[in-house]
Amino acid sequence: MREIDITGFAEVHAAGGYVLDVREPGEYVAGHVPGAVLVPMSQLGQRVAELPTDGRIHVICASGNRSLVVTDALQRAGYDAVSVAGGTNGWRMAGRSVVTGMDAR
């Protein structure tokens, strides 16, 4: 599986699933899924050791394009990763709340 839809992601998120936000810091500060960990796509190569290896990684960006690229790379590297279809924009459009600022919560 390469992607998860917003409804499925909302269920996983509510259960405490790991969320990796690969947008740039300015985008993250403007609004992100609660609990999402920021590792910009441009820094992923240097920070991949920070990612969990014991569960699924839900990769999110603004619309789903960058997250698909990152998901494919993570899967090739042996991670259990899926892209959140629609991204943070889809999350917002579904009426879900976002957090602003650098704090993940």
Average pLDDT over every residue of 67-81: 97
Instruction: List C-alpha distances in Å: 93 to 32, 56, 86, 90.
Output: 13, 24, 9, 5
In whole angstroms, what is the distance from residue 27 CA to residue 46 CA? 20
* Residue 1 banded pLDDT, cuts 50, 70, 90: confident
pLDDT score of 19: 98
Domain total in the chain: 1
The three-class DSSP label of residue 99 is: strand
The three-class DSSP label of residue 100 is: coil
| Residue 101 is assigned to a structural domain of this protein | no
Considering the candidates 61, 81, 84, 85, report the single residue annotated as catalytic.
Answer: 61
Please report, for the domain that includes residue 79, its CATH number. Answer: 3.40.250.10
Task: Output the pTM of the full model.
Answer: 0.96
| Residue 100 is assigned to a structural domain of this protein | no
| Residue 102 is assigned to a structural domain of this protein | no
- Summarised one tens digit per residue, pLDDT across range 36-48 is 999 999 999 999 9
Q: Tokens 């259960």 — which residue?
A: 15
* Residue 103 banded pLDDT, cuts 50, 70, 90: confident
| Residue 105 is assigned to a structural domain of this protein | no
| Residue 30 is assigned to a structural domain of this protein | yes
Q: Domain limits at 20?
A: 3-93
Give the end-to-end CA distance of the chain in Å, rounded to a whole number: 28
| Residue 72 is assigned to a structural domain of this protein | yes
89: annotated active-site residue? no
pLDDT score of 56: 98
